[in-house]
Each structure stands twice: as C-alpha cells, then as structure tokens.
Amino acid sequence: MKKIVLITSSILFSNCLLAQQDNLLASAKKDSTGVFIGDMRATEQVESPGVARKYAITNLKKDLDALDKSGKNTLLADANGNERNLNSEIFATYLSRLDKKYKGDVRSIETDNIRDIFQIDQKSEIKKRHSSVISAQCFSSKNDGRFIKMKDLDGEEIIGFPLESFKGNSRYGLVENYHQGFARIKKDQVFGFLNYCGDETIPCQYEKAEPFNDGKALVKKFDWYYVDVYGNESEALENVVDVKALRMGISIAKFKNGKQALIDNNYDISKKPLSEYFDEIVTFNSELFRVRTGKTFGLIKIDGTTKIDAIYDNINAASEQGKWMIIEQNKKVGLMDTEGNIKIKPSFESMTNISVDPSIATNANLGIAKDEGGIRLIDFKDLKTSKTYSAIGEFNKYGLAQIREGKYSGFINTDLKVVVEPFYSSLGNFNQYGLVSACKTGINGATKCGYIKFDGTEIIPINFDEVAQFNKFGLVVVKENLKNCSLPSGNCRADMVYDKNGNLVIGKTNEAAPIGIKYITTDTLFNGVFIAIKTINPLKNGDDMPTEYNLVERNSLKRITTQSYYSIKKYDANLLFPVFKDSKWGLMDTTGKVVAKPAYKDIMITTEGLYGVKYENNKYGFIDKKGKIQIAFDYDEVRPFNNGLAIVSKGIGKLGVINRFNAKIAPCYFSEVNILPATKQFELLDASGNKFVLNSNGDCVTNCTKFDEIRKLANQ
C-alpha cells in the first residue's frame, strides 16, 4: 500500500510541477509534432554576424535603459555611434562592460540585509539581462553564419540562430525557443542548451533539464544540479528528487521524504529551502502558492513566507485573478481575501465558480453558493449576492440564467438583476429570435402558454393551451381548447399561426364558432418566396381530411391564401399558382387573388398566355391568365400552343390545328398531326396515308390542293 501511495504522490507532484511550467511558459505553444515549443518565426533575416552584433547591442542597450529608469547610465552611450563599425573587438568590449556592471549590481543587492519581494524581483531582472549578455558574447567570435530577428518565449525581441532549421532532424526530441538567452534542447535523448549563435555551450548530457531561471538552470544526471550560464555545475542538491523552475530564481523541489518546498538558486550552498516543508505546493495566482499540510491548506508567497496559515480544509481561487479565495472549514465554505480577511463566513454547503462566455458578458466573475435554503449567485467582483433560489441554470447567449423560486421560474442576468420575475410555471430555451416559451398556471389550475422576449416583454399572448416551436422562417403554431366549435361540433382544438414579431398570421376561421383546423409549419418554400403551411381540416365526424396547404410570404410573413388548397404548384411566368381544391383546379396570383376559381378537372402549364383546362363535360378548352374562357370546351384533347397554334382532338382519327381564336387552321380530320422539331412545321396524315405539311404559321406547303379540298368540306 505504501508503494501505491508514493507513486500516486509522485504523479500528483509531477502534475503540479507541469502546471507550474505551463504557467511559466504561458505563451509557449507546441507544434503539431510536440517537439518545437514557442513561435520561432523570423520577423527579419540577418545577413551577417556584423549586422547581428548591431542588433544585439541595440537590444542590450534597451535592456540596460529599462533597468536604469533614471536615464543617466552612460555605459553604452557611445554604442550608437559605433553601430555601423561594430567589429568583434568593439562588440566584446561592450559586452565585457555589461557583464561587469550586472555582476556588481547583483553583489550589491545580495549584500543588502533587507530581503523582500521587491529585492528578489529587482535581482531577477538584472540576472535575466545578464544571462542574455553571456549568451550574446558568442557573436564576438563569429565571422559567418546566418541569424534571424525573432521574439523569444517572453515576447522580447532577440537576434538568434534559426531554431526551425532543426525541423525534420530525428535527433531532436525537443527544441524550445530562447528563454533568458538560452534555448533548451533534447538531442539524442539527453538535454542541453544553445546560445544565441546556436552553439551547444552546455552540451546535451542531462537526463532532465529545466529552462534557465535567472542565471541558472536545474539539470539532472543521477542527482539534480544547477548549471550556470558558463556551463559550470554546482554540487548535487541534497535530498532533492524532483524540481520545477518557476521564476525569479525560485523553484519547487520535492525531497526524498516526499515533502515539497520552495528553493532559490543558492540552495546548493545554503542547503536551506526558502519555505517550510509541505505535502503539496501548487500555483494559486501570479503571486501566491497554495500549500497543503496533511489535510489543511494555506498560502505562501514566492519568497517562501507564509501568507495564510494552513488551517483550512480547502482553498480555491474564486476568480482567475485570485482576488478572493473559496475556503472550507468544518465542512462549510465561505470567502476570504488573499490578506486573510473573511468576506463571507463559511456557512455554505458548497461554493463554485461558474463560467460565462466573454462574448456574453465581459469580465463576469460569478459563482454559485448552496446552503440549506437553496442556492444563490455571487458576484466575486464586489461580493454581491442574489436572493436564494431553488434552482439556477446556466447563462445563455443573452446573458440570462433561468431561476426557480418554488414552483415558478424567471430569468436573472450577470449583474444579478432579475430581468424576468419568477412567476412562470415553466420556461423553455431561447430560440434564434430571442424568444422563449412561457407558461402560467391560473387560479383554476389551467395552464396557458405563449412566448416572451429576453427582456420579459410578452410577444405572443400567454393565452394558449399549447405552443409549438418556431420554424426557421419565424412562424409558430399555437393551440386553443374550445367548446363551441362548429366543425367538429362541440369541443375542439383550434390552431392559429403567429410570427416572430407577435403578429397573428392565420387566425380562427370563425371567431364565434371556429373550425378545429390544425396547422403545421414547414421549412418548404415555393419559388423561394412563399412558406408552405400544412393545413388539416376536420370532417363532421371529427376525422381529419387529407393535408392541404396555405402560403405565407417569406419577407412580410403575411398569409396570401384565403383558403387552403390540397395542392399548389409553383407559380409560372405569369406569376400564377395552379391550385387544387375540392377535386378541381384553378389559378391564384401571388397576392392570393383567385383569378380562376377551382372549376376544372385538369389544367396544363401556360403556353403563350393560355392554359388548357378540362371542364365538367370532360372536354378541353383554353382560359387566359385572367381566368376568362378564350376557347370553348369542345375538344377531347389539347396540346400547348406553339407560335400561336395548337394541336387539338375531337376523338380518335380527328386531329386538327387551331389558332388562339379557335380558328380551325386544319380541321379535326386527320389521323395524325406532328410538329417537326427542326422546322417547327406541322406534318398531317389522313386515314388514307396522304401527307400534308403546314409551315409554322399554318400555311400549306405540301399537297396543298388536296388539303384545300379537305378544308372546303369542313367549312360547309
């Protein structure tokens, strides 16, 4: 069992330290292979070591100026004048000056008896800059080579060897962008470091290695050591079995006894950790670390001093900034600031952060606290709390969360303001139009439903017994239970159709004695303009009729049909719909006006403004686009007009040709009439096999004498 505990502890520690590493190199991203860490793209190519030296001096001068905010430092005052003639010797002189200065500055700080965070931070900045100086010294000895201008892991502009040139080289298992002057690499399964010139100044020889951390890097062969920027190794770190570098020369170390502590870069000499020993150390925020001793938790600073004693059953950050802490004591949770001041006494059963999409509410920092009375929202920015509710849902894209108080629901926003008071028996989910179904239960126990907007405005009256979901065009069906239906007689459910703006699109057929019609919205479009609404009309016995259709104009969401139709065909060039009702065809225009009442057994597509229709006598004739009869119903069969002429029939072997005025261009005498595709001429055959040809205008062009005789007989 002890082995299992040790292994688990090791895994937890390793995970903890990985989290610290991720925090340290927050901007470092691995490529798809997991080998290259950080953005190594060149912002500019550097042509020669001379140019590289010029860039390096410019950057190092910026570093010096940043440290000496007084602006009085003259160490590199003459550097600008020598940039053009920056040979190896002059460059080496400048870097020797910087090396000497930074070493002196560090000694001065270390001899100061005052030890605080500011001192640690100041020394850290100097050591970072000094580390870059040591790495850049390599340019003094370079007479050739190619380099690039780029940004290191900390986002600072540097000049360095193009690390991406290692891509595709199977020897490398890790290539990390430069950090504090050195690039960590893993080559042939062991770690080392490159300077700005790409030289392996610290040879690959270590089983493990951490990035440089203020002039030193933690490395492991059998034991852990420090290696400095010159490649010098320290004595082995006593009792240390694992480490992770943090920042400011401070690292987390795990010891042979299983404990953890913070150590600084002098641990090899002092052999004393900065902090006490703990069972666990993890990052709490950018300044503090959560520590665990046994089953209790506290906070320490990065210098190892105690911030909050480890007396709490648990401590968690209540925000990304870590301003507040959720603390647990005696199985109750509350809130405390990082100074140890209790802001909300530990009186809740639980308290957790909740995530709110930044696109919904910027800087929202909310949590939920639960006690015996229910749950409430907490705004961690100012510690405001909401009322207690029996339930609180997730925040939606409108920045609202559903709240439930007893049997009733409402909505609250991220500012903890109740936008919709909880007096609805049920609320649905918001749709694409910002509407949500809402139901209320009356005194008599009847529940009525409708739709409300995200601000609580009632869009569709809460008067209906049932509401459906909106279709994609913004239409919805609502149902009302009635006791005075004319069809079917007595009780019925009458449907109505509303649009997303709350306008009634299709109401009751008769307000006094409605018909129990059912509507079903669809996503079907006619001609890309009109929405089809399925319509089911009841029979007297209560059975449903076959499905019929109404049309609603897509943009205006206005109903155009004055009644439902069993079938509606797409409108034609005349903007007329063929419609089918009570087993008869008619015509309707795009405004819903009926131009030809459904009175025909059949209707043909329009040809040259005329529609072939079949009347009750089972004979065909033609009507125009206004529904007016232009050719009487005398024919057994008709074909579409072509160039003002149409083939018609009055029975078998009685085919002929008429024009738009029903003039018989060829009498119904012929056994066969065809249109020749190439010439559009009419070819006619009589019962004796005689062939006649008329041109596209109806004039005879072949066997015309015989044809004239036939016409004369027909005209008598």
CB 262, CB 283: distance < 8 Å: no
Residue 422 lies in a domain: no
Instruction: Characterize the bridge pairing of strands 306-312 and 296-301.
Output: antiparallel
DSSP 515: B
In this prediction, residue 14 has a pLDDT band, given cuts at 50, 70 and 90, of: very low
Structure tokens belonging to residue 110: 């270390």
285/238 Cα distance (integer angstroms):
29
76/349 Cα distance (integer angstroms):
62
CB 549, CB 565: distance < 8 Å: yes
Please report the pLDDT score of residue 9 as a whole number: 35
Residue 288 lies in a domain: no
Question: What confidence tens digit (pLDDT) does each residue in 618-641 have?
Answer: 999 999 999 999 999 999 999 999
* Mean pLDDT (whole number) for 447-475: 96
Quick check: 6 pLDDT over 60?
Answer: no
Please report the pLDDT score of residue 21 as a whole number: 39
Give which of 306, 304, 328 is closest to 315, Cα–Cα. Answer: 328
Final residue in a domain of this structure, among 193, 227, 261:
227
Give which of 533, 553, 527 is closest to 471, Cα–Cα. Answer: 533
Final residue in a domain of this structure, among 227, 259, 280:
227
621/615 Cα distance (integer angstroms):
8
Question: What confidence tens digit (pLDDT) does each residue in 478-501 have?
Answer: 999 998 898 888 888 999 999 999
Between 10-19, 165-174, 416-425, 602-611, the lowest mean confidence (pLDDT) is in 10-19
Q: pTM higher than 0.75 for the full model? A: no
DSSP 559: B
Residue 126 lies in a domain: yes
CATH number for 656: 2.40.10
53/86 Cα distance (integer angstroms):
7
CA quadruple 664, 665, 666, 667: dihedral, nearest 10: 10
Question: What confidence tens digit (pLDDT) does each residue in 544-579 have?
Answer: 778 999 999 999 999 999 999 999 999 999 999 999
217/252 Cα distance (integer angstroms):
13
In this prediction, residue 159 has a pLDDT band, given cuts at 50, 70 and 90, of: very high
Residue 702 lies in a domain: yes
CB 260, CB 253: distance < 8 Å: yes
Residue 94 lies in a domain: yes
Q: What share of the chain is helix, strand, coil (3-state, %, to 5)?
A: 15, 45, 40
| Number of domains, the chain | 2
Q: Which domain holds residue 39?
A: 4-227
In this prediction, residue 363 has a pLDDT band, given cuts at 50, 70 and 90, of: confident
Peptide bond into 546 cis (omega under 30): no
The DSSP string of 80-99 is HHHSTT--HHHHHHHHHHHH
Residue 257 lies in a domain: no
DSSP 234: -
Q: Is 362 or 238 the better-scoring residue by pLDDT?
A: 238
87/504 Cα distance (integer angstroms):
85
Residue 18 lies in a domain: yes
Question: What confidence tens digit (pLDDT) does each residue in 111-138 have?
Answer: 765 555 567 778 888 999 999 999 999 9
What's the alpha-carbon Rg for the chain, to the nearest Å? 44
Residue 398 lies in a domain: no
Final residue in a domain of this structure, among 201, 227, 253:
227
553/504 Cα distance (integer angstroms):
14
